[in-house]
Structure 1
Amino acid sequence: MTDSPHIELQHRAPVGEESWDQTQEELWNGDPENARNWSTSRKIFTSGAVSGIGFVCTLASSIYAPGRQETAAEFRIGETVSILPVSLYNLGMAFGPTIASPLSETFGRRAVYLVVLPVFAIFVLATGFCHNFTAVCICRFFAGAFASPGVSIATATVADMWAPSERARPLIIYYSSPVLGSAMGPLVGGFVAESKGWRWTQWTTLFFAITLFSPIMFTRESYKKIILKRKTRAEETRPSRSLNAFLDQIPKFIRTTLIRPVHMLLTEPIVTLLCMYMGFQFGLLYVFVIASPWVFSTRYGFSLTGQSLSFLGLIIGCFLAPMFAMAIDKTARGSNLPRFLLQSTSTPDKSVPEYRLCSAMFGSICLPTGLFWFAWTARSSIHWISPIAAQCLVMIGSLNIYLSAGMYMMDTYGPLYGASANGANSLTRYSLAAAFPLFTLQMYQGIGVGWASSVLGFCALAMAPIPWAFFRHGPKLREKSKYQRSD
C-alpha cells in the first residue's frame, strides 16, 4: 500500500533559469534513455521489481504479529505492549516521504533503492537478534523508516515509464502489492512462529528481501531530471557537488515535503476526505491483523496454524480486487451509465478524473457490507467459512477504494501537486495503521466481535458517500482548488 513523494515527470525550468525549448523536448522524446522509450519488457521488469519492494516492505510490517504472544512471554510484557513493534514499524513508514523526497530529487530513484533497502535489511536482521524489548521496538521503527522510501518512490518510477493513458493497469498492480504483503505477513508469520519462533519471522523477511530486492540492481534510472543532469552536466555527479546539491534542496524539501502536504490535508476537501477514507481502510487491515487470530481462536478454537490460514480470505480479496478495479474502469469509460452523476454536463469527456472514482463507489458498498457480515457471522454456530468470505469482501471493497482514490488524486492535481497529495495520504494511512492495532484487542474483548466490527461498519457506512459526492461535485471543487493541476 504505496506513495510517491515527488513525481515531476515534465521538468519545467522556472523563469530566469535555462529554458527547456521545443527542440530539446523533441530530442528528449526520442532519447533511448527516456524511460518512456524503454522496451515493453524492460518496463514490465522494472514495474515488477518495484512491486516486489512494496510487497516485502509491508510483509515485514505484519509478519511479526503472529509471534507477539511468544514475545510477550519472553520479555514479560503485557499483550497490548507486545503489539507496539507492529505500530512502531508503521509509524516509521509514515516518515518515508521525508527521507525519499530530497534523496530522489538529488540522486535519483535508483540510488534511493540501492541505499535505503540494505539499511532496512540490517535493521530487520538486528530485530531478530535483540534480547531487549526496547531494542526490538527501536529496530522495528527504523526498519519501517528505511523501508518506506522504497515504497514511496515506486509510484514515481511507474509514472516515469508509463504514459498517462497506459498507467492505470501498472499502477493498479503496484498499489495492490503492498496491501497483499500486509495480508500475507500473518499467514507466513504464523507458520514460521509456530515452528521456529518469533525471531525467525524477521529472518524469513530477509529471505523475501534477498529474492525480491535483487532485481532492482538490474534496473536503470528513470527520473528525467537526473538523467538530463548526467547527460548535460556530468560534473554534478561528483560526490562533493552532489552533497551541495542535496543541501540546496533543504528549503524546497521543507516546503514541498512537509508544509505543502499538511496544507493540502487541511485546506483541500478532496485531499482531506479521501485521505481520511483511505487511511481508515488501511488501518482496518491492521485491525484484522490483530483481531482475526483472536476471533478464530476464541470462536472456533483454531490453532496458530489455523489462525494464519484465516487470512486466506483477505489474500484472495487482494487478488480479486484489481480485477474488479480494471473491469469497472473499462466499463465506466465505455458506458454512459455513470454520466448522470456528474453535476457538470459541460464535461462529457470520459477522461475527466471523476471517472476514476467508479471503482471506489463500488468499494464503498462492499466495505460496510463485508464488515457487518463478519460482525454477525463470526460465531461458533455458523461455519467459519462465512466470516472468512466476509473478510474477502472487505478486502475487495477496501482495495478498490484505495486504488481508485489514489489515481483520482493524481489525475486531479497532476504529477507535482499529486505527489504532495500522496504525501498527505502516506502520513494519514500509516499514522492510522500505527494507531488502530493499539486499541483493537481491547475493543474486541470489551464489547464483543459483533459490536466491535459493527462500529467499524458504521464508520465505513458514514464515509461511503465520499466517492459518490466527489463524482458529482468534483468538477466544481477542482475549479476552486488552490492547487491547479500542474504537469
Structure 2
Amino acid sequence: MSTTTQIVVSAPTSDFALILNWDEHPGNARNWSSFRKIYTTLIVSVIGFISTLATSIYAPGSDDVAREFSVSLTYSLLPLSCYALGMGFGPMIASPLSETLGRKAVYLTTVPLFAIFILGSGFSKNIHSLCACRFFAGLFGAPGVSIASATIADIIPADKRGMPLAIYYSIPFLGSLTGPMIGAVIVEEKGWRWTQWTTLFIAAAVFPLLGFIQESYRGVLVQRLTKRASVERPAGTTRSKKALLKHFFTTTTSRPIHMLFTEPIVGFVCLYCSFQFALLYTFIVGTPYVFTTTYNFSVSQQSLSFFGLVIGALCATAALIAMDRIIYQPKYLNFRQTTPTLEFPPEHRLYPSMLGSLIIPIGLFTFAWTARPDIHWAIPITAQGVAMLGSMMTYVSANMYMVDTYGPMYGASAAGANSLVRYVLTATFPLFTLQMYQKLGIGWTASLLAFCTVGMVPIPWVFWVWGEKLRGRSRYEKEM
C-alpha cells in the first residue's frame, strides 16, 4: 500500500525549506521507469569497473617499466600505488560535490579528465611523469567508484537495493582481478604502454553513454524544480557564490573526514572494508610471485592463476543475491506487516558479512600452507577463491549496511571516507607485499594476513548487537 508523505528539504540538501509530495512526484528518481533505473545502474557500474581495471592492469607491466626506466622493481610498482592514492583522495572532493552540484555533473567532468591522464601515462618518458599521470588518473577516476553507490541509493529504495548493490560492489573486485589477466596478455604482445591505452579505448567507448543518464540526487532535483517554478526563497536563505564556496570547502569537503573519526559505524566499516580491498591487492602483486617461484608458471600462466579469485568473486555475488532473496527480503516483508510505521533495522544487511568474516581466515590459512611444490597448484588457487568469497561477502554487506544507515544524503560522504582509507591501504600494501613473501616465506606471509582477519571477525557481530545504539548517537540524519 503506497503512502503519501510530506518531505521537508532541509538545509544540507537545499537552501530553503520546501514541502513537496515527493513520493508521487514524477521528478523523483525512484519513480523512474525500470529501463532507466537499469540503464543508470549498468552505466555507473561499468565506469566503476573501468576505474578499478585501470589500477591493476598496470601490474603485469611493472617488470618492463623497471627495465625501461632503470629502476628497482619496488620503484616500478609506485605508479600502481600512486593511482590507488589518487583513488583515495578523489572522493574527498567528488563525493560531497555530488551532493552539492549533482551526480551527473561530477561524472561528466571527471571521466574525460581521467582519460586524459591515462593517455599521458601511456606516453610517459620517465618514472616520475608516469607516477604523476597515474595519480591524477586515479584522482579523476575515483568518483566513478565512490558516488555510484549513492546514485543507486538515489533511485532504488532501501528494501530493493540488495541485488543492484551486490552487483555494483562486486565491480571493483572484478575490475581489479580482471586487470592483471588482461594486462599480462597485453604486456606479452604489445608492451606495458598498451595497458594504459587499452584502458583509454574502453573509457572512450563508454563515455558517450553517460550523456543519457539523468540527475538522480533529490536535493539537486528539488532545487531545479523550485527554480523552474519560480518559488520564492525565504529571506536570509539565499547564499552568495562566495558563501557557497566557503561552505563547500569548510563543511562538505571535511564531512567524509569528520564522519570517519566521529561515526563509529563509518570508522569500523572503513577499516574492515579497506583491509579486504588491500588484501585483494596483496593477491594481485603476490600471486604471480607465488606461482612463479613455487610452480614455475610462465607470464601467460600467471594470468590464469587469477581464475580462482575471479570465480570466488562471482560466487560471492551469487551468494549475496541469494541471501538477499532468501533471508533479507522475507524478514523485511514480515517486519512491514507487523510494524509498518517503524524503520527496518539496517543491521539485517550484515548476515553475509558475519558469515564471510568466518570464511576469510579459512581460505587464507589453507592458501598459506598448501602453496607448496608437492601439492597441486589447483589447491592454493581454490583456497584463494574461498578467501575471496568471504572477503567480498564481508565487503559488500558492510558497505550496504553503511548505505542503509546514512541514505543518499550522507551516503556519498561515507563512501568518500571509505574510499580514502581503502585506497591509502591499497597504495601501501603493494610496496611491501613482495618483500614479505621473500623474507617471511609464502606460508607465514599469508598466515599473518589470516591472523589480521581473525582479529577483525568481531566487527560485523558487534554491529549486529549494538548497531541500533550506535545509530541513535549519530550526528547525521538519515534520508531514505
Deviation per CA, 1:430-472: give whole Å up to 9, x if none: 1101111111010011110000000000000110111112212
9, 12, 27: which is aligned to 2:9?
12
Q: Distance in 2 between matches of 1:212 and 1:259?
A: 32
Task: Return closer, same or farther for 1:442/1:102 CA change in 2, 3 Å cut-off.
Answer: same
What's the counterpart of residue 168 of structure 1?
A: 162
Name the stretch that deviates more: 215-224 or 430-439: 215-224
Aligned residue for 2:73, secondary structure, equals coil
Deviation per CA, 1:332-365: give whole Å up to 9, x if none: 33678xxxxxxxxx99x89311111110011101
Q: Give the TM-score normalised by the residue count of structure 1.
A: 0.88
- Whether 1:208 and 2:202 are equivalent positions in the alignment is yes
What's the counterpart of residue 339 of structure 1?
A: none
- Whether 1:118 and 2:115 are equivalent positions in the alignment is no
The amino acid that maps onto 1:86 is L
Name the stretch that deviates more: 407-416 or 152-161: 407-416
Q: Distance in 2 between matches of 1:254 and 1:356?
A: 33
Q: Distance in 2 between matches of 1:157 and 1:334?
A: 22
What's the counterpart of residue 340 of structure 1?
A: none
Per the TM alignment, residue 323 of structure 1 is displaced from its structure 2 partner at its CA by: 1.3
Q: Give the TM-score normalised by the residue count of structure 2.
A: 0.89
Contact 1:55 1:178 in 2 (8 A): yes
Contact 1:102 1:250 in 2 (8 A): no
- Whether 1:363 and 2:356 are equivalent positions in the alignment is yes
Deviation per CA, 1:350-398: give whole Å up to 9, x if none: 9311111110011101111111111111111111111111111111111
Q: Distance in 1 between matches of 2:404 and 2:151?
A: 16
247, 253, 256: which is aligned to 1:252?
247
The amino acid that maps onto 1:288 is F
Contact 1:11 1:225 in 2 (8 A): no
What's the counterpart of residue 44 of structure 1?
A: 38
Deviation per CA, 1:89-117: give whole Å up to 9, x if none: 01001112233145424432222211210
Aligned residue for 1:302, secondary structure, equals coil
Deviation per CA, 1:55-112: give whole Å up to 9, x if none: 0000000000000000000000001111101110010011122331454244322222
The amino acid that maps onto 1:126 is G
The amino acid that maps onto 1:135 is S
Q: Distance in 1 between matches of 2:110 and 2:278?
A: 25
Contact 2:82 2:135 in 1 (8 A): yes
Contact 1:102 1:249 in 2 (8 A): no
Deviation per CA, 1:110-149: give whole Å up to 9, x if none: 2221121011111111111111110000000000001012
Output aligned runs, 1:147-226, within 5 Å: 147-226=141-220
Output aligned runs, 1:396-415, within 5 Å: 396-415=389-408
Unpaired stretches in structure 1, ≥5 consecutive residues: 1-9, 237-243, 337-345
Aligned residue for 2:125, secondary structure, equals coil
Aligned residue for 1:156, secondary structure, equals helix
- Whether 1:473 and 2:466 are equivalent positions in the alignment is yes
- Whether 1:308 and 2:303 are equivalent positions in the alignment is yes
What's the counterpart of residue 379 of structure 1?
A: 372
What's the counterpart of residue 275 of structure 2?
A: 280
Task: Return closer, same or farther for 1:417/1:114 CA change in 2, 3 Å cut-off.
Answer: closer
- Report % sequence identity: 52
Aligned residue for 2:350, secondary structure, equals helix
The amino acid that maps onto 2:9 is R
Q: Distance in 1 between matches of 2:162 and 2:242?
A: 35
Deviation per CA, 1:255-294: give whole Å up to 9, x if none: 4444333233223332222211111001011111110011
The amino acid that maps onto 2:116 is I
Deviation per CA, 1:2-58: give whole Å up to 9, x if none: xxxxxxxx771349964322xxx22x4444333212110111011100000000000
Q: Distance in 1 between matches of 2:246 and 2:454?
A: 42
What's the counterpart of residue 446 of structure 1?
A: 439
Aligned residue for 1:41, secondary structure, equals helix
Q: Distance in 2 between matches of 1:257 and 1:45?
A: 29
Q: Distance in 2 between matches of 1:87 and 1:184?
A: 18
The amino acid that maps onto 1:275 is C
Q: Distance in 2 between matches of 1:474 and 1:48?
A: 31
The amino acid that maps onto 2:280 is L
68, 73, 76: which is aligned to 2:67?
73
Contact 1:66 1:189 in 2 (8 A): yes
Q: Distance in 2 between matches of 1:235 and 1:375?
A: 64
What's the counterpart of residue 270 of structure 1?
A: 265
The amino acid that maps onto 1:276 is L
Unpaired stretches in structure 2, ≥5 consecutive residues: 1-6, 231-238, 332-338
Aligned residue for 2:77, secondary structure, equals helix
Contact 2:104 2:215 in 1 (8 A): yes
Task: Return closer, same or farther for 1:427/1:482 CA change in 2, 3 Å cut-off.
Answer: same
Q: Distance in 1 between matches of 2:478 and 2:137?
A: 35
Name the stretch that deviates more: 51-60 or 205-214: 205-214
Q: Distance in 2 between matches of 1:445 and 1:11?
A: 59
Contact 1:193 1:201 in 2 (8 A): yes
Name the stretch that deviates more: 442-451 or 199-208: 199-208
What's the counterpart of residue 454 of structure 2?
A: 461
The amino acid that maps onto 1:281 is Q
Aligned residue for 2:215, secondary structure, equals coil
The amino acid that maps onto 2:263 is E
Contact 1:363 1:400 in 2 (8 A): yes
Contact 1:318 1:396 in 2 (8 A): yes
Q: Distance in 2 between matches of 1:465 and 1:362?
A: 11
Per the TM alignment, residue 183 of structure 1 is displaced from its structure 2 partner at its CA by: 0.8
- CA-atom RMSD in angstroms: 2.6
Name the stretch that deviates more: 224-233 or 458-467: 224-233
- Whether 1:64 and 2:58 are equivalent positions in the alignment is yes
Contact 1:366 1:393 in 2 (8 A): yes
Contact 2:153 2:403 in 1 (8 A): no
Task: Return closer, same or farther for 1:425/1:69 CA change in 2, 3 Å cut-off.
Answer: same
Q: Distance in 2 between matches of 1:35 and 1:356?
A: 23
